[in-house]
Structure 1
Amino acid sequence: MDDETHAPVTVIGLGLMGRAPAGALLAAGHPTTVWNRTTSKADQLVAGGARLAPTVDDALVASPLTIICLTDYRAVHDLLGANDVALGGTTLVNLTSGSSTQARDTARWAGQRGARYLDGAVMAIPSTIGTAEAVIPHSGPEEDCQAHEPTLRALGTVTHLGADHGLAALYDVAGLTMMWGVLNAWLQGTALLRTAGVDAATYAPFARRLAVGVAGWLPGYAEQVDRGRFPAEVSALETDARAMAHVVEESEALGVNAELPKLIKAMADRAIAAGHGGEQYPVLIEEFGKPGNG
């Protein structure tokens, strides 16, 4: 390929998350073509040097690489599925949020129309796009990711997850569960401490140290999950369940919502009933891997 250091690129979709990549590409020196249904959203980018394409087809042929960031996968199909839109010869990097099934289906759909396709996930807030702090994993053919890596690096940290187009969407969802899990645990603890007059700002540094400590357990716990064996090297699940009961009881006694600890304890109780009480906490992967009861 030609030198990709300042290769031209197209960005389709200029919501908050679409404008950020376009701005980062411009800042990195890439000739950038943009398109959005509401053209006024491109004004600031055009003032900064971007070219506003009059049509989607014009936007696609302007660059060998097109980054798409729309509301959902249906919008992607509706926009690019029009009869006059030519996809042949272009590489699409779809940063639209959706499911792993939608990602795989869209990869097949794009391939049938002659396009190369990478699916991506923006695991960052708009203000971090263009910095190493922005993690934007991609999945699909590795050669396509490598071919455009110099351009994609302008957006943040480039990570290729594998050839399965659905992996980026799955990592995105897995990341969301981590984010909400940590935040919900912190909010539960904060609610408890507020009953004693301890404010959130006082608890936050303590909670952060705990979160970092727990994160350090993950590699060892991952080995147990992957082996499918869960020796109680630190604590048995039945011991952890007693601590969970304590959290539930204290929450209820203080008038704090106990739904979250009750949910986790219910899962632990099922695992104990199935004979796993003497094993270590990661044995709960068996419960997390089952369909819900709701």
Structure 2
Amino acid sequence: MKGSRPNKQKNVLPGFGLSLGFTLLYLSFLVLIPLIGIVIRTTDLSWHEFWATVTTPRVLASYRVSLTTAFAAAFINVVFGVIVAWVLVRYRFPGKKLIDALVDLPFALPTAVAGISLTAIYAPNGIIGSILQPLGIKTAYSPIGITIALLFIGLPFVVRTVQPVLQDLEKETEEAAVTLGARRWRTVRKIVFPELLPAIITGFALAFARGIGEYGSVVFISGNMPLKTEITPLLIMTKLQQHDYAGATAIALVLLVISFLLLLLINFLQWRLNRRTAAV
């Protein structure tokens, strides 16, 4: 009939309202409610007590150790993770599938197993530690050892973030640039790198955020010396063992704020990069 509204075509998939409801409910139970619980728990402390808890010399030293080692490991992983992703995507060689599978090993390996293995290797009497120790390089029970552990668990985040972008990047564009006389490094800098930059930033953020909160693989190799090699997650566990739940949640809240600010910064940088790319 004329003037009648056409029948809407039904979608096989569930409706938007139902899907959105399940999504919000699922995320609320897994993410939102636990995070709100951290904030509520800290209300047991007054502002003065909260500030005194999160700014003691021992806590500040743990922030420094966790942040500096996580940043150093994420930065190094960005450099070598991009190289690993490039090799896995652009070259064919024997054992490629095995190396590609090994990249995901830190995801599957229990963090405690990784920590024990790294400690056995880099300890003063270990295979690598015994070689470095006479050279004056102390790896285990030092910030260097913590960085090594974070390198191990953070590499997959960079490789698996950059790898799909490289796979979608058309080789014809690079070949055309070379044909027109552009040198290899200029092609990488002007064509390849801008395409990879958002993925590189995301990989760095994921590795950095994971490094800040990593516990299992670090606690064995760090030595856990207060004011020197004690990480913030270990300090939180110490507070919990002492039944100081308010103090533990106060320190955890600081890490939560740091991670949230990092997430906002990464999203802002990606927005700027996407806007610049769209303008071009």
What is the TM-score of this pair, normalised by structure 1? 0.23
Question: Whose helix fraction is larger, Structure 1's or Structure 2's?
Answer: 2
TM-score (normalised: structure 2): 0.24
